[in-house]
Amino acid sequence: MNKRCDIVFEIRSVVPVVALSILLTGCSSLNFKTEPTQVSPQAAVMADIPPPPQWVVPAPDALPSTDWVRAFPDSILIELVDEALRENTDIGVAYARLEASIAREKISQADRLPSVTGSADVSRTERSNEFIPDSTGLSTSLNASWEPDLWGRISDNISAAEIESEAIAGDIAGARLSIAGQVAQGWFNLIEARLLADLSRREIETQERALRLTQRRFESGVAGSSDVRLARSALAQAQASQAGREQRLAAFSRQVEVLLNRYPASALKAATDLPDLPPLTGAGTPDYILTQRPDLIAAERRLAGQGFQIDLARKALMPRLNLSGATFANGGGFDSFFDIDALVANIAAGLTAPIFQGGRLRANVEVQEAVLKQQLQSYIGTVLDAYLDVENALDGEARLAESEAALRVAVEEALQAERRLELRYSEGLVTILQLLDAQTRRLSAEGQLISARAERLQNRVRLHVALGGGAYGDIPPDALPAFLRDQG
């Protein structure tokens, strides 16, 4: 018994040493690179596309507002955005994806630990011969295996899983930012639609007044029947316009309700007027959004994760060592598991290495490197789109302000002209066509002014979203997994 144990322990001590020497020999023959693949997308972007030192609007702070939704003086909007961030289904899907990613991370971490499985089989034999007793058999087994992380393959797989969770956390921030922007824009669209519908109702009242005036003139013999028909036509057009605007109002109400995870019943009522546009204190610098926009952060993390995928593909060329042990017992129950002779005698070391795969493994390395190039080009394109969004929004700040100022003048002048022509028409000094033209110009100018005010608010929302969103683009700390909270 002692001699047998000595032999077993000697074999047990020699096998790992021999296996390790074989592994090291294989490593030197393959010229394997142990340095991790480094990805620096921001440096690539700044090298290829040097942005201006600052945007059109200089900023004393990083963003126009760190809590951009609350910068709008609209309490209802704030409540709607808060509700959407709690209830929106797209955000819920993003959180569920994060939970799944964290679970996959736990799976990858389990590869660091040994795998142990046990089994037990019971058999019963009953014989018809009364002289041969029945028998019951019990067989048990316990198996354990473990792969040492010699080349960091398991560590790379864990790192890749962690980075994917970080990227999905960026997706959550992006979803929250996008939904907040959609709710704000939908709310401003809803108010604009209400104001235009109110304008159509006032237009109908104006046309009804013009029709009554024309009918009195016709009955007095001052105007012809054609004037009456033109007035009736203008009234019918105003009524048709109102129907279309009421439909648009209901559609925008349903659109916002869906974002809030409500039934689209067109029950959400718009405010009576658009809020004032908050002052713009600045827009930051172009390089700042590389670390602020959630979509860029998520893309950058996935680039880093792809670097680990390249390393994993390279390490698939390397030998793998697997240590396993098993013990079996027939009829002795689990007590046999503590028999040192039985346990040691079943310890083994398995060494596997790719010898010939037809170039499959090396081709997979090339595939992963090509995927990294694709992702890097896509990242640069996303950065350019982000720059474009900000530049367009900043340019719109000035252009839309000029447009609104001009339309205010147009509305005032058209209103004075309409009042003058209505008085002159009642005196018989101008035709119905001149009056209708003046009314049309005034109503058109008022509608354009309403749309211009709404567009300025929409443009401001687009600017905040393009810059990364501030507080509403962030994820509440209690919603993040622990490893992300630790990283701040």
Question: What domains can be seen in the chain, in order of their start residue?
Answer: 32-111+147-182+274-318+353-486 (1.20.1600.10)
121 backbone dihedrals φ, ψ, rounded to 5°: -125, 135
What is the tens place of the pLDDT at every residue in 68-121?
898 899 999 999 999 999 899 999 999 999 999 999 999 998 888 888 887 877
In this model, does residue 228 exceed pLDDT 70?
yes
pLDDT on residue 40 = 63
Mapping DSSP to helix (H, G, I), strand (E, B) and coil, where does residue 6 land?
A: helix
326 backbone dihedrals φ, ψ, rounded to 5°: -150, 150
Between the CA of residue 441 and those of 144, 234, 425, what are the distances in Å?
A: 86, 13, 17
Ramachandran region, residue 359 (left: φ > 0; alpha: ψ -120 to 50; beta: rest): left
pLDDT on residue 33 = 45
Closest residue by Cα to residue 216 from 401, 432, 413, 386: 432
Between β-strands 115-125 and 320-330, what pairing exists: parallel, antiparallel or unpaired? unpaired
Helix, strand, coil in percent for the chain, rounding step 5: 70, 10, 25
CB 32 within 8 A of CB 362: no
More reliable by pLDDT, 196 or 111: 196
Can you list the alpha helix ranges (DSSP code H) found in 111-152?
none
Can you list the alpha helix ranges (DSSP code H) found in 221-330?
225-259, 294-315
DSSP state of 122: E
H or E segment to which residue 352 belongs: strand 348-352
In this model, does residue 24 exceed pLDDT 60?
no
DSSP state of 177: H
pLDDT on residue 290 = 77
Residue 228 CA to residue 348 CA, distance in Å, equals 104
DSSP state of 477: G
Q: Which of 19-23, 80-84, 117-121, 403-407 has the lowest mean pLDDT?
A: 19-23
pLDDT on residue 93 = 92
What is the tens place of the pLDDT at every residue in 322-351?
877 777 665 544 455 455 554 444 666 676
Which residue type does 437 have? D
Mean of the pLDDT values across residues 295-299?
89
Which residue carries 């921030």 as its tokens?
173
Longest dimension (CA), the chain: 135
pLDDT on residue 59 = 53
9: tokens are 């322990």
Can you list the alpha helix ranges (DSSP code H) found in 152-293?
153-219, 225-259
What is the tens place of the pLDDT at every residue in 373-400?
998 999 889 888 988 998 899 889 889 9
Closest residue by Cα to residue 273 from 192, 357, 358: 192
CB 152 within 8 A of CB 448: no
Mean of the pLDDT values across residues 168-189?
93
Closest residue by Cα to residue 261 from 86, 96, 88: 88
- Residue-averaged pLDDT of the chain: 79
352 - beta bridge partners?
320
Residue 240 CA to residue 357 CA, distance in Å, equals 73
Closest residue by Cα to residue 234 from 412, 428, 421, 438: 438
Mean of the pLDDT values across residues 37-61?
57
Residue 187 CA to residue 405 CA, distance in Å, equals 23
What is the tens place of the pLDDT at every residue in 420-455?
888 887 777 878 788 888 888 888 899 999 999 999
Q: Which of 36-40, 187-191, 327-331, 338-342 has the lowest mean pLDDT?
A: 338-342
Can you list the alpha helix ranges (DSSP code H) found in 327-359?
340-344
Buried b (16+ CB within 10 A) or exposed e, 148-183: bebbbbbbbbbbbbbbbbbbbbbbbbbbbbbbbbbb
Beta-carbon contacts of residue 66 (< 8 Å; ≥ 6 apart): 470, 471
What is the tens place of the pLDDT at every residue in 149-159?
888 888 888 98
57: tokens are 């609007």
Half-sphere exposure of 384 (CA within 13 A, CB side): 10
Cβ burial of 77 (10 Å; 0-12, 13-18, 19+) is buried
More reliable by pLDDT, 66 or 462: 462
Q: Which of 124-138, 281-295, 396-410 has the lowest mean pLDDT?
A: 124-138
